[in-house]
Every structure is written in C-alpha cells, then in structure tokens.
C-alpha cells in the first residue's frame, strides 16, 4: 500500500501540525482521511499560506489535538509499504515531532519524495542558471497537465468536498494525480508501482 500525504503546519520549524490529509492506495482502490487539529498558535506566515487561524482550527477539529488520533494515524503509516509526499523531509519532520510529543515512535517502511524525483522530469532552471530547482507542487501539476479542475474533482471524490490549494486535502489529491501520471509517463524517476 502507498500512503500519499500532506500537512498544513503552524510554521516552518517543527511546531504543530494543524491539518493532516492522506490517501491510501492499494490494488483494490484508494481511500482518504483528513484530520484537523487544535493548536496553541499559528505563525503569521503560515496563516497567510493556508488561512487557518487558531479559532478556525478549534472549530474544524472539534477541539481535538494530534494525540487524540495518534493510534489511527500510527497504524495507517506503519501499515504502508511506502509513504509519498512533496518535500517529504518537511512533512516527516513535523510528523516525527508530533509523535514524539505523545511518546510514540513514528514508523513507516520507505519514503518517496515527489519533489526531488520531479527535478530531472521538469528540468526547471535555477535562477543562478546552475542546475535545476525543486519544482513546487503547482509547477509539477502544470508540467504534467494536472489542472485545477481535475484536482478539485479528485479531492471531491476522495474527501467528499472541495477546499482550496494549500489545504492538505487539495494538495494531497493534486500530488496523487501527479504521481500516478508520472508513474506512467516517467517510470524511471517514479518507479514505485510495485508498492501499490
């Protein structure tokens, strides 16, 4: 099983995860889960990206914190043969921090970074002109022809509603479509089919 995931966080340094969304893909199909969490703060920069305030997160989460869902999340991640994220180090650092708060080990088998794997595919030049840069998720979507409407429809199918970009549900659905397309079109760089 492959688990594709994204987080929205309280800032850039491992603090708190305020939203976690993931899609689990196996030979029988796919299922998705979304969690909102109450957090003690949201840095201004993070709020400007995702738009979630402390009050809104308390409302969306029903007052639940990450620890309230730790058993379910830990089981799903440990059950996956592969976890996939766009900039996987960022997301796994936050996940590890949240797990450590509960005294639980963050366990998974293997990881795959759609951002790093897309570098030789997209070949977007760095400003310096030296080499290629890591593509943003929107740049990978554009390159692969995964448009906004397709991502919204996939989000609706998987999560039951449509949000917006920089909501973990939308970003996970977009990444999921990109990786599935890249597995077909760029099998050397996205050689992960055997994990499904």
- Residue 48 pLDDT: 94
Q: What CATH number should be reported for the domain holding residue 71? A: 3.30.420.10
- Specify the number of domains making up the chain: 1
Range of the domain at 106: 2-195
- The segments of the chain whose pLDDT lies below 70 read 165
Selection from 4, 2, 1, 30 nearest residue 178 by Cα: 4
Show Cβ contacts of residue 190 under 8 Å, excluding neighbours closer than 6 positions.
Answer: 114, 117, 121, 179, 182, 183
User: What is the C-alpha separation between 105 and 95, in angstroms, rounded?
Assistant: 10
Q: Report the alpha-carbon distance of residue 5 to residue 175 in Å, rounded.
A: 9
């Amino acid at each position: 099983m492959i688990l594709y995931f994204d987080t929205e966080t309280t800032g850039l340094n491992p603090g708190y995860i305020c939203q976690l969304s993931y899609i689990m893909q196996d030979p029988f199909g796919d299922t998705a889960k979304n969690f909102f969490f109450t957090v003690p703060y949201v840095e201004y920069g993070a709020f400007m990206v995702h738009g979630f305030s402390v009050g809104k997160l308390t409302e969306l989460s029903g007052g639940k914190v990450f620890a309230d869902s730790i058993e379910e999340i830990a089981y799903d991640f440990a059950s996956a043969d592969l976890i996939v994220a766009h900039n996987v180090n960022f997301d796994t650092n936050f996940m590890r921090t949240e797990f450590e708060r509960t005294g639980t080990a963050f366990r998974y088998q293997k990881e795959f970074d759609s951002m790093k794997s897309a570098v030789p595919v997209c070949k977007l030049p760095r400003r310096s002109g030296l080499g290629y840069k890591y593509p943003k998720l929107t740049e990978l979507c554009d390159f692969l022809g995964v448009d906004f409407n397709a991502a919204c429809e996939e989000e609706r199918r998987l999560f039951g509603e449509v949000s917006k970009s920089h909501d973990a549900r939308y970003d996970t659905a977009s990444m999921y479509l990109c990786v599935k397309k890249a597995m077909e079109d760029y099998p050397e760089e996205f050689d992960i089919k055997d994990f499904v």
